[in-house]
Homo-oligomer: A and B are copies of this chain.
Amino acid sequence: MSELELDPVIHAQARLRVVATLAGLPRGDRIAFPRLQKVLDMTAGNLSTHLRKLEDAGYVAVEKAFEGRSPATYLSLTPTGRRAFETYTASLEALLKGSLE
- Using a CB–CB distance below 8 Å, which chain A residues touch chain B? 4, 6, 8, 11, 13, 16-17, 19-25, 31, 39, 89, 92, 95-100
Contacts and interface: CB of A to CB of B under 8 A. Distances in A.
Contacts of A13: 6, 8, 11
B8 A99 contact: no
Nearest to A99: B24
Given A11-B13, A13-B11, A21 B100 contact: yes
A98 B8 contact: no
Contacts of A21: 98-100
Nearest to A22: B98
B25 A100 contact: yes
Contacts of A4: 17
Nearest to A92: B92
Nearest to A23: B98
